[in-house]
């Protein structure tokens, strides 16, 4: 059961990565060249049909996978790089620094990524960059909290006390004991955070607050599909399904890792 | 007790100040400020400087922040430099839709998630529990706007039983109001409930492992009745904070759902003004939304004290 | 008629079918007090929960349990629930967590009463107060209106005893009811339990690891080791002439104050190691 979760997650995530990498090398058709084959239904040679500008939908989906991965990797990466050290510092130092970090984290946490994205888009103009920044900043508190909670546990353990007694420096303890022990937690958070980043990116590009056209993102494709839902309702299916499966994949991967890593969750009783 | 409430009020005030600073910094301290937006990218530096002086933008940022925040405190959220409308006048007619959407959406998600989450906990080793958990896992992956598009396709385009978009105020025609809100609220509630089910399930599983649940069973309650009688209030204590978080994600969901069903609420106002790059309106509206989220979180936090007798302090 | 008959009871847990208890058989006559002794992990609590039908869902139960000649193993959840708290009730080990923290204790006791009778809510209060007095609580009005966190451990355990006895059950299962309490409180709670059980004429399965406590409450005793019953008899007989090496060890280690100076203190495993 648990292994199944992890495996399905791995397969789905693998498919998204495969699609994204494939799109760098090859797509069935040019994803941005307008043609006269408008709104073809699914069939041959356009497997999933064409959109309102006569562009092959399958090609656009592949490119969309790439953008969802890019936004996910960068925003989650930034959030982890900022959030984890902050959380570790707060957990190891304690006191007012801890209090301050967690209060700020709470404030940012109450601030939805979408509102942040709107502020940034209003100030700079919407772009992939503002979307990634908004998602990244909004995800920092989650990493900081996880890292802090893990750090507090590790710092209280006997082997850290022993290391301290042996005169290991703060940095040494952080690098040799704290980080390796909280890394699995961070990994789980990264996977779950990735799923949330994909959802947020899709919502932002659906609202026109993310990557601008003509770059095909899954969210923007759904917005286009909505314009033709009377004639070609099936077009709303593919991008939505892609988002859902990608998010499901990262969520299952995260949950699966957590179950494998955390024996306490197993109901032995 | 009084100390605890004062503490919560203090955190609320600090959060409010922190959030307002964040909002103000993003819209003001960074390049691309109001003058640039008004004059376009090819404006001469002299023209920009002149307009900045005219709008008072050349004064220190701290001073402008204080002006802005004291304006908000007295109910003045600023005036759009583009259209000349006061921000509050733009917001007022739009609040209704969004507020209804968020409120009904949260109620709907609770109505869906509480019984299902409880059932998933009770039957967690049986097929019913596994099915609910799996459904929640899938539901969490579904983007709210996709769900909305599919509902609109099915109920409005194919079955033609409900309108695909638009909004009628409650005061105008209650029946039409309801008809227009059914799909947006259902969309929001369903997607929100997926996350909520997982929280409800784990809160009730925790209760199932508690000694007092076993005591309730030992005096003769059946599993379901014991959970209803002694589990709900205890689970509510751990769920209160989650519902607070649900609030901000419901607000985000509402903004997106407004776009799907073409409802003219705060979300569509924000999107329009972001497209026009009307920074004053965007900053004022976002501030108002953050204020609402923090305020409701505060109320939720305080109600937590009422549910849990241990928080009320000893009687003697 | 025998009140409780247990025949070949076994309990296994989880998919691996880890054995918790095996082939446990005993009987309790009306008003009889039976002690169940064993160290932690020997299967005492599992036996008690199996009798009450309160084992977790991943437990597989085998064997036969009859209450008043009716097999409870055949009962559906609803009928079994009607038995619990009425014909048979239970007092748990940990009074600090056994009560619902969000409900006044008076209501919790009243709930136990109202579940099994046609009492009106108004007249139930009188019965609840009377029961709280009988378990030796003072100021019962104030206690009834308190939340569990406002009471001490001893007070809470008395409330639990009141809950277990308010419907005059035939059988009360007490799972280490005094272990979590201070020594001085232990004696008082034990005395109260003795009195109320006597007054109600209720039979009792009294689980403990403490020989002294069992000998105060019970007339018969069974000894469990590693999920099996290894010895049974009257309290006096088993304690004066223990036959199984494990029981010998239990009895000997209970009298450490009588050891001659200069000798190493014995431990229970000294007595049965290598003899099983």
Can you read off the two tokens belonging to residue A52?
């309102």
Using an 8 Å CB-CB cutoff, list chain B residues near A125: 32, 277
- Which stretch of DSSP H or E encloses residue C177? none
Q: Are B290 and A240 an interchain contact pair (Cβ–Cβ within 8 Å)?
A: no
Using an 8 Å CB-CB cutoff, list chain C residues near B234: 100-102
Is residue B201 within 8 A of residue B124, CB to CB? The reply is: yes
Cα separation, B117 vs B177, in Å, equals: 30
Q: Are A125 and B277 an interchain contact pair (Cβ–Cβ within 8 Å)?
A: yes
**How does strand C33-37 pair with strand C18-28?**
unpaired
Q: Is B277 exposed, middle or buried (0-12, 13-18, 19+ CB in 10 A)?
A: buried
Is residue C206 within 8 A of residue C36, CB to CB? The reply is: yes
Cα separation, A269 vs C13, in Å, equals: 8
Contacts of A7 (CB under 8 A, 6+ apart): A256
Kindly report the average pLDDT of chain A as a whole number: 87
Cα separation, A141 vs A85, in Å, equals: 11
Cα separation, C30 vs C9, in Å, equals: 21
Contacts of C101 (CB under 8 A, 6+ apart): B212, B234, B308, B309, B310, C147, C148, C149
Give the gap in angstroms from C-alpha B226 to the nearest C-alpha of chain C. Answer: 11
Phi-psi region of B252 (alpha: psi -120 to 50; beta: other; left: phi over 0): alpha
Among C260, A251, C142, smallest CA distance to B137 is for A251
Q: Are A222 and B294 an interchain contact pair (Cβ–Cβ within 8 Å)?
A: no
- Enter the ipTM: 0.89
**Residue A10 scores a pLDDT above 90:** yes
Cα separations in angstroms, C164 against A98, A116, B210, C100, C169: 48, 57, 18, 15, 8
Kindly report the average pLDDT of chain B as a whole number: 87
Q: Are A267 and C13 an interchain contact pair (Cβ–Cβ within 8 Å)?
A: no
Give the gap in angstroms from C-alpha C150 to the nearest C-alpha of chain B. Answer: 6
A-C CB pairs within 8 A amount to 5
Can you read off the two tokens belonging to residue B152?
């609109």
pLDDT band with cut points at 50, 70 and 90 for residue A267: very low
Q: Are C102 and B307 an interchain contact pair (Cβ–Cβ within 8 Å)?
A: yes
**Residue C109 scores a pLDDT above 80:** yes
C-beta contacts of A27-30 below 8 A and 24+ residues apart? A27/A56, A27/A58, A27/A59, A27/A62, A27/A63, A28/A56, A28/A58, A28/A59, A29/A55, A29/A56, A29/A58, A29/A59, A30/A55, A30/A56, A30/A59
Can you read off the two tokens belonging to residue B168?
């009628």
Using an 8 Å CB-CB cutoff, list chain B residues near C85: 218-220
Cα separation, C189 vs C154, in Å, equals: 7
Structure confidence by residue, pLDDT tens digits, C125-175 = 889 999 999 998 999 999 999 999 999 999 999 999 999 999 999 999 999
Using an 8 Å CB-CB cutoff, list chain B residues near A110: 15, 19, 248, 290, 293-294, 297
**How does strand C18-28 pair with strand C88-91?**
unpaired
Q: What is the pLDDT of residue A201?
A: 93
Q: Are C57 and B307 an interchain contact pair (Cβ–Cβ within 8 Å)?
A: no
Q: What is the DSSP letter of C28?
A: E
Question: What average pLDDT does the segment A221-230 reach?
Answer: 85
Among B200, B199, B95, B193, smallest CA distance to B144 is for B193
Structure confidence by residue, pLDDT tens digits, A38-49 = 777 887 777 788
Give the gap in angstroms from C-alpha A149 to the nearest C-alpha of chain C. Answer: 26
Using an 8 Å CB-CB cutoff, list chain C residues near B230: 100, 102-103
pLDDT band with cut points at 50, 70 and 90 for residue A113: confident
Cα separation, B261 vs B253, in Å, equals: 12
Cα separation, B26 vs B33, in Å, equals: 10
**Residue A240 scores a pLDDT above 70:** yes
Structure confidence by residue, pLDDT tens digits, A77-95 = 999 999 999 999 999 988 8
Structure confidence by residue, pLDDT tens digits, A116-175 = 999 999 888 889 999 999 999 999 999 999 999 999 988 888 888 888 888 888 888 888
CB atoms within 10 A of CB B59: 12
List the single range of A11-25, A240-254, B131-145, B233-247 with lowest mean pLDDT.
B233-247
Q: Are C56 and A268 an interchain contact pair (Cβ–Cβ within 8 Å)?
A: no
**Residue B228 scores a pLDDT above 80:** yes
Interface test with B, best of A13, A107, A123 (most B CBs within 10 A): A123
pLDDT band with cut points at 50, 70 and 90 for residue C119: low
Q: Are B271 and A209 an interchain contact pair (Cβ–Cβ within 8 Å)?
A: yes
Is residue B112 within 8 A of residue B193, CB to CB? The reply is: yes
Q: Are B234 and C101 an interchain contact pair (Cβ–Cβ within 8 Å)?
A: yes
Q: Are A229 and B152 an interchain contact pair (Cβ–Cβ within 8 Å)?
A: yes
**What's the CATH number of domain C4-241, 3.30.70.141, 3.20.20.80, 3.40.50.300, 1.10.10.10?**
3.40.50.300
Is residue C267 within 8 A of residue C253, CB to CB? The reply is: yes
Using an 8 Å CB-CB cutoff, list chain C residues near A269: 13, 56, 58
Cα separation, C172 vs C88, in Å, equals: 6
- Put simply, whether C235 touches B (Cβ < 8 Å) is no
Q: How far apart are the first and last CA of chain C?
A: 36
Angle between helices B279-307 and A113-124 (to 10 degrees): 170
Q: Are C84 and B218 an interchain contact pair (Cβ–Cβ within 8 Å)?
A: yes
Q: Which of the two residues, A44 and B257, has the higher pLDDT score?
A: B257
Q: What is the pLDDT of residue B175?
A: 86
- Which stretch of DSSP H or E encloses residue C255? none
Residue spans per domain, chain A: 2-31+53-261
Q: Are C78 and B219 an interchain contact pair (Cβ–Cβ within 8 Å)?
A: no
Cα separation, A246 vs A9, in Å, equals: 9
Cα separation, B105 vs B196, in Å, equals: 12
Greatest Cα-to-Cα distance within chain C, rounded to the nearest angstrom:
66
In A, residues 207-266, which contact B (CB 8 Å cutoff)? 207-209, 219, 222, 225-226, 229-230, 233, 236, 239-240, 243-245, 247-248, 251-252, 255
Q: What is the pLDDT of residue A268?
A: 32
Is residue B170 within 8 A of residue B157, CB to CB? The reply is: no
Can you read off the two tokens belonging to residue C96?
């600090």
What number of helices (H) and strands (E) belong to chain C? 11, 10
pLDDT band with cut points at 50, 70 and 90 for residue B263: very high
Structure confidence by residue, pLDDT tens digits, C190-238 = 999 999 999 989 999 999 988 888 988 998 999 999 899 999 999 989 8
**How does strand C70-71 pair with strand C33-37?**
unpaired
Q: What is the pLDDT of residue B298?
A: 87
Cα separation, B172 vs B169, in Å, equals: 5
Q: Are B143 and A112 an interchain contact pair (Cβ–Cβ within 8 Å)?
A: no
**Residue A58 scores a pLDDT above 50:** yes
pLDDT band with cut points at 50, 70 and 90 for residue C257: low
Is residue B270 within 8 A of residue B286, CB to CB? The reply is: yes
Cα dihedral sign, C17-C229-C26-C83: negative
**Residue B37 scores a pLDDT above 90:** no
Interface test with B, best of A4, A102, A115 (most B CBs within 10 A): A115
Is residue C105 within 8 A of residue B235, CB to CB? The reply is: no
pLDDT band with cut points at 50, 70 and 90 for residue B30: low
**What's the CATH number of domain B87-314, 3.90.226.10, 1.20.120.1770, 1.10.3720.10, 3.30.930.10?**
1.10.3720.10
- Put simply, whether C116 touches B (Cβ < 8 Å) is yes
Q: Are C115 and B219 an interchain contact pair (Cβ–Cβ within 8 Å)?
A: yes
Is residue B107 within 8 A of residue B194, CB to CB? The reply is: no
Cα separation, A73 vs A194, in Å, equals: 7
Cα separation, B207 vs B216, in Å, equals: 11
Residue of C nearest to B235 (CA): C102
Indicate the SS3 state at residue C203: strand
pLDDT band with cut points at 50, 70 and 90 for residue B41: low
Q: Are B308 and C102 an interchain contact pair (Cβ–Cβ within 8 Å)?
A: yes
Can you read off the two tokens belonging to residue A122?
């209003």
Chain B: partners with 3+ C-beta pairs within 8 Å: A, C
* H helices present in chain B, as ranges: 2-28, 34-39, 45-55, 61-73, 87-122, 127-141, 144-151, 174-208, 211-218, 223-226, 232-260, 266-276, 279-307
Structure confidence by residue, pLDDT tens digits, B69-127 = 998 888 888 888 888 889 999 999 999 999 999 999 999 999 999 999 999 999 988 89
List the single range of A194-198, B41-45, C83-87, C98-102 with lowest mean pLDDT.
B41-45
Tell me which CATH code domain A2-31+53-261 carries: 1.10.3720.10
Q: Are C147 and B309 an interchain contact pair (Cβ–Cβ within 8 Å)?
A: yes
Q: Are B23 and A106 an interchain contact pair (Cβ–Cβ within 8 Å)?
A: no
- Put simply, whether A196 touches B (Cβ < 8 Å) is no
Residue of A nearest to B35 (CA): A123
- Put simply, whether C33 touches B (Cβ < 8 Å) is no
B-C CB pairs within 8 A amount to 82
CB atoms within 10 A of CB A122: 28
Residue spans per domain, chain C: 4-241
- Put simply, whether A122 touches B (Cβ < 8 Å) is yes
Is residue A110 within 8 A of residue B15, CB to CB? The reply is: yes
Cα separations in angstroms, C276 against A11, B177, C226: 52, 79, 11
Residue of A nearest to B241 (CA): A110
Give the gap in angstroms from C-alpha A110 to the nearest C-alpha of chain C. Answer: 29
Q: What percent of chain C has pLDDT over 70?
A: 95
Question: What average pLDDT does the segment B167-175 reach?
Answer: 84
Cα separations in angstroms, B67 against A120, B59, B89, C107: 22, 11, 19, 56
Residue of B nearest to C162 (CA): B219
Structure confidence by residue, pLDDT tens digits, B174-221 = 888 888 999 999 999 999 999 999 999 999 999 999 999 999 999 999
């Amino acid at each position: 059961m648990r292994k199944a979760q992890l495996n399905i997650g791995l397969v789905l995530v693998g498919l998204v990565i495969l699609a994204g990498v494939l799109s760098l090398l090859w797509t069935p058709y040019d994803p941005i060249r307008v043609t006269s084959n408008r709104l073809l239904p699914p069939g041959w040679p356009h497997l999933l049909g064409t959109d309102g500008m006569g562009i092959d939908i399958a090609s656009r989906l592949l490119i969309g996978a790439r953008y969802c991965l890019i936004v996910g990797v960068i925003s989650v990466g930034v959030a982890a790089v900022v959030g984890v050290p902050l959380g570790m510092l707060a957990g190891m130092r304690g006191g007012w620094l801890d209090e301050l970090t967690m209060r700020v984290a709470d404030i940012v946490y109450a601030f939805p990524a979408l509102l942040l994205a709107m502020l940034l888009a209003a100030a700079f103009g919407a772009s992939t960059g503002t979307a990634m920044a908004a998602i990244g900043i909004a995800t920092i508190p989650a990493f900081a909290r996880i890292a802090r909670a893990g750090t507090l546990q590790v710092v209280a353990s006997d082997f850290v006390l022993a290391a301290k007694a042996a005169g290991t420096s703060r940095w040494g303890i952080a690098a040799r004991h704290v980080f390796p022990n909280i890394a699995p937690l961070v990994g789980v958070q990264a996977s779950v955070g990735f799923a949330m980043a994909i959802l947020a990116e899709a919502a932002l590009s659906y609202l026109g607050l993310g990557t601008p056209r003509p770059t095909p993102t899954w969210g923007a494709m759904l917005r286009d599909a909505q314009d033709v839902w009377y004639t070609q309702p099936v077009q709303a299916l593919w991008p939505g399904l892609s988002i859902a499966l990608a998010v499901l994949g990262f969520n299952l991967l995260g949950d699966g890792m957590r179950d494998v890593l955390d024996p306490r969750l197993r109901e032995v009783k | 007790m009084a100390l605890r409430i004062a503490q919560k009020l203090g955190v609320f005030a600090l959060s409010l100040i922190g959030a307002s600073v964040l909002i103000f910094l993003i819209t003001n301290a960074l390049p691309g400020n109001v003058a640039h937006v008004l004059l376009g990218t090819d404006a001469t530096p002299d023209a920009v400087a002149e307009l900045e002086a005219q709008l008072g933008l050349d004064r220190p940022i701290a001073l402008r922040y204080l002006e802005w925040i004291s304006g908000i405190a007295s109910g003045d959220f600023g005036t759009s430099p583009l259209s000349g409308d006061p921000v509050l006048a733009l917001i007022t007619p739009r609040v209704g839709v969004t507020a209804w959407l968020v409120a009904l959406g949260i109620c709907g998600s609770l109505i869906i998630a509480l019984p299902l989450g409880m059932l998933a906990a009770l039957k967690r080793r049986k097929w019913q529990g596994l099915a609910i958990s799996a459904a929640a896992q899938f539901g969490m992956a579904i983007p709210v706007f996709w769900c909305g598009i599919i509902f609109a396709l099915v109920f409005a385009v194919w079955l033609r039983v409900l309108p695909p978009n638009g909004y009628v105020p409650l005061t105008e025609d209650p029946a039409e109001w309801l008809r227009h809100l059914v799909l947006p609220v259902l969309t929001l509630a369903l997607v929100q409930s997926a996350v909520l089910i997982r929280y409800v399930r784990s809160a009730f599983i925790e209760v199932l492992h508690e000694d007092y649940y076993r005591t309730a069973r030992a005096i003769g309650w059946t599993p379901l009745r014991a959970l209803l009688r002694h589990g709900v209030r205890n689970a509510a204590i751990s769920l209160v904070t989650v519902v607070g978080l649900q609030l901000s994600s419901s607000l985000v969901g509402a903004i997106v759902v407004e776009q799907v069903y073409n409802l003219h609420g705060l979300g569509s106002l924000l999107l329009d003004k972001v497209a026009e790059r009307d920074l004053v309106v965007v900053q004022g509206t976002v501030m108002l939304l953050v204020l609402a989220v923090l305020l409701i979180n505060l109320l939720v936090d305080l109600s937590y004290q009422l549910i849990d007798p241990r928080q009320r302090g000893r009687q003697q | 008629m025998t009140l409780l008959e247990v025949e070949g009871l076994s309990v296994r847990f989880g998919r691996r079918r880890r054995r918790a208890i095996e082939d446990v058989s005993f009987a309790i006559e009306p008003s009889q007090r039976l002690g169940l002794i064993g160290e932690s992990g020997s299967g005492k609590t599992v036996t008690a929960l199996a009798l009450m039908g309160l084992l977790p869902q991943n437990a597989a139960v085998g064997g036969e349990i009859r209450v008043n000649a009716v097999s409870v193993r055949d009962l559906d959840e609803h009928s079994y629930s009607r038995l619990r708290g009425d014909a048979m009730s239970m007092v748990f080990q940990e009074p600090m967590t056994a009560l619902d923290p969000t409900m006044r204790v008076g209501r919790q006791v009243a709930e136990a009463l109202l579940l099994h009778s046609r009492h009106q809510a108004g007249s139930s209060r009188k019965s609840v107060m009377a029961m709280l007095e009988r378990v030796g609580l003072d100021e019962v009005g104030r206690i009834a209106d308190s939340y569990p966190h406002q009471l001490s451990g001893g007070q809470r355990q008395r409330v639990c005893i009141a809950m277990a006895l308010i419907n005059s059950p035939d059988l009360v299962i007490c799972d280490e009811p005094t272990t979590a309490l201070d020594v001085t409180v232990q004696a008082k709670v034990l005395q109260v339990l003795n009195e109320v059980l006597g007054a109600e004429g209720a039979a009792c399965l009294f689980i403990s690891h403490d020989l002294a406590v069992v000998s105060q409450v019970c007339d018969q005793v069974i000894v469990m080791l590693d999920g099996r019953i290894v010895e049974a008899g009257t309290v006096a007989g088993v304690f004066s002439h223990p036959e199984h090496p494990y029981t010998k060890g239990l009895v000997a280690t209970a009298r450490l104050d009588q050891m001659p100076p200069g000798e190493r203190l014995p431990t229970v495993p000294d007595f049965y190691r290598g003899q099983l």
